[in-house]
Amino acid sequence: MSKITNVLLLVDGLPGEALTPWLEEIGQWRHFERRFPLASLEATALPPLWYGGDRPLTGGMALGALNNLELDPYLAFLRRLPWDEHGRAVQLAVKEQDADGFRLYPIYPLERAAPDPERERALATMKSYFGELVVTDFELPELPAGPLEPLDEACLRYLATRGYRFSPERT
């Protein structure tokens, strides 16, 4: 079954052709043998200023409609790229197929993260359950066998969004 995720990569200070090498590297990333390339809004195949306005963009923007993207590994990959080489802000706007709107994820620097109360509460609950093995939501350990009583409903819902599946006897 297809699940489309729309993404818009926003890179402050890397307009036009300066973004090309970054997009080539992003396009080479594989997850389960699939690639997830993005296209620049200023690709040479497009007419100049096609996006509106009367001036060129001052930051790089690239987009893609990505099929069956697992967001957490993709975010982890993007955050490992050497964005500090150009020292500007990098963000990823994401609209998952069933979501009501876009979410903005910081890529570089990470301290610009907008708080997500449900995520923070779920991580705190998981840390108390798993101990300090849980650092981030894309580094979750294997769930132990048996009931998951300590995990509340919001935490289970959040885990489900990260790809975990639970049988009724475990919840």
Which pLDDT does position 65 carry in this prediction?
94
Enter the tokens of residue 37: 């390339």
pLDDT tens digits in sequence order for the chain, 171 residues long: 789 999 999 998 777 778 889 899 999 998 888 889 998 888 767 767 667 777 777 788 899 999 999 999 999 899 999 888 876 789 999 999 998 899 999 998 876 445 566 666 766 776 666 654 444 444 444 555 555 555 666 666 666 665 555 554 444
Here the tokens at position 42 are 């200023």
Sign of the torsion formed by the C-alpha atoms of 40, 79, 101 and 53: negative
pLDDT of residue 171: 42
Q: What is the pLDDT of residue 69?
A: 92
For the full predicted model, state whether its pTM sits above 0.75.
Answer: no
**Partners of 8 in the β-ladder:** 63, 93
Please enumerate in sequence order all residues whose Cβ is within 8 A of that of 74, keeping only pairs 6 or more positions apart, or say none.
29, 31, 36
